[in-house]
Structure 1
Amino acid sequence: MKRIPLLLASLLLLAACTAPAPSTASTPAETPAAPVETPADPANAGDVHMLTNRYDGGQYTTCLVPSGSYCVSKIDYAAATAHSMCQIPGCQHTTSDCPVLSAGHLLVDGDTLWYPYIVHSDSEYAYALAAYTDDITPPAHPLFAVTHYQTDLVYSVNVLAADEEYLYFVGNSSYAFGGAGPNGAEAYLFSAEKSTGLQAQRLRLDTLLPGQNAYWTLSAAEGRSLYLQYSLFSDNTSGVYRYDLDTRQCSPLPQLTQNADTLGTPLCSPQVVYDLQQGSITAVDVPTGQSTLLTDTFPTGDSYTYAAASFRDGWVLSYSLWKEQDAFTHQFFRAPDGTLTELPQQMYCDARGTTPVNILDIQNGLVFLQYAYDTVPVSSYDYEGNPYTYDTYLPVYGIIPLQDLLAGSQNYRKLTFD
């Protein structure tokens, strides 16, 4: 059976999520597990939390390796090194035999790393999750695999919440991606026991009328609660439901209902709300509903676009103008005390022009970023079979202290691969 890794964002960042209007959707309700067993009461399983690819000092993510291919690497910021998570001796990470070629990431769960990927063959298209080991990744027997052909669900196993005993994830009907079917779009919250892989259907998230379309995902977790967002495509609104794992009650949070057009980073916590008329960016913590004004000094008008990304050491905010021949982007770092510092560093690529450096993470006073492109010649053949060469542009990654970045330095330490 051939394994193809699950790519980041291919199934997830579609739109913001919202509570459906009463006329179009029912309140999410608990449903009996079928065909799997109802899970035991998880009240003693500890607090629930979202899993990410970051650890203290780095992250597990896809990076360009010297072979010119992409595979999952462990990035160590202090050492400025990238260690391939493929354990096959002599593997060049250039063919599908490499288990982490082009994969999205590994998810950190205490001392365990979870690896989401897709199993694909002529008769099967399954979403699988495996625990990473010191052997070849992923193991021959994943914790579980759920088959799309049997259930018509697209499983978001690369967006996980976890407590001490269970993993939690969402499955959306494929109709949520391409138009509602005769029974509408469906979505479910699932759990899987970490020790056995036993799956259970915790919650049916909604039942929409024919012609309605929604997409659900996990966005936050705190205490014993999961926060579920969705986008109702019919009226472009988004909102949040809170699901209590102990009482198994699900309730809407009306204060978090938004128009999807104003959401900068939906499907996550904190949410980011843009106001192009006021020149402001506001972060909203999903579990508490608390709002934090990040800036209200950006240029205003519909010709501008805003962007924001949250990191451990602060925020990176930017605004861009795309109008006729005029196009530019300004990028800023916002410190926890609210200080806003413009970042002048740019990178140049023949095919893309000049753009701000691409900041990927900031933690412990170190910045992981893409700061340049390498021009690499590629040989190919035209439609008549004649050989020719063209240039492709591959990202170059590096590390720089945050204080140096804020001072305008471009003294990047290039990431090395072992």
Structure 2
Amino acid sequence: MPVAPTTPPHRPSHGTADDGDGGGRSDGPHGGGRSGAARRAAAVRRAGFLLGACAALVCAVLLSLAVGARPIAPTVVWDVLLHGGDGDAADVVRTLRVPRTVVGVMVGAALGLAGTVMQGLTRNPIAEPGILGVSQGASAGVVCAIAFAGVHTLAGYVWFAFLGAAVAGVAVYAIAARTAARGGVGGASPVTLALAGAAVNALLVSVISAILTTRAATLDEFRFWQVGSLTGRDAQIAGQVWPFLLAGVLLVLVAARGLDALALGEDVAKGLGQNVATVRVVGGLGATVLTGVGVAAAGPIAFVGLAVPHVARAVVGGGHRWLLPMAAVLGATVLVVSDVVGRVVLRPGEVPAGVLTALLGAPFLIALLRRGPPSRGAP
């Protein structure tokens, strides 16, 4: 007796976090075409948003070069950028404002990327770069450099800040991994990482406080670094941190596809062939390096790593191939604009960029909380 051919079971495709475009297949003779057209339209729209963000960053950079205690005409700025320029104004732009602006772009991009990765790894919408104790580690390194090594320059702080950030990051991962191993879990989980980060943060805060309360001169010097600022940042600092920035960017780009899968849940990510432990290690290492770059170059800058990923996600969706570039561009723009505003609100004095980002970020966090309970994980 002939056997009717069986229809292969329908396998629902798992949409990625790139979504918003309809990750599943459409049935019907024209469904595939419509789905492909929708994806192309979404990609064009996201590319347009990204180009718009880049244009905003260019405008912020030009403002940073022209605005300050001494306003400089845009024609002079263009002359310096294109031809080198002559005169005192050209020297101010070339030797002071260009390095400061470059450092601002690097730090803002690093913190935006680090916050995005941390929120993706922990699936926690209020995660930010300091969650792993890296910021406090860098602060502890700078305090020790001032108090015990006799370092008194911004360029000298950078290496000690990197060392402190690295030690804190390694300590957090070691504690989390050991805790997970005792519990029979294959690797450090977001919960153990957060708890280990909180413990290391508390320890480092007590160490910093102990040193500062016994050394008044160290406190006087450290407090200017602690507020987070781009003042006095020169080309030497940019030259010190750019290799680490490049390494951190490469690490988070390698982890991007795994972060998309992880946003669907750990079990789904494993089902899609992702090594969840590897994604967490590579992504976490990249976020740690990027946070170290930001804190070492400019001191602790609040809220950029928390607020920027949410704005980027609202604009381009949750897919990390779009989310990471948008977060980098928006982070750089936010920090550079904050620095420019800080130069003019109390002219001829300056308000540190870290103060301005906190003033802008605190209302954002309150608005985020007023929207209701945070969603489970990244979109």
Which structure features the higher share of helix residues?
A: 2
Could you tell me the TM-score, scaled by structure 2's length?
A: 0.23
Which structure features the higher share of strand residues?
A: 1
Higher RCO structure (Cα 8 Å, ≥6 apart): 2
Could you tell me the TM-score, scaled by structure 1's length?
A: 0.21
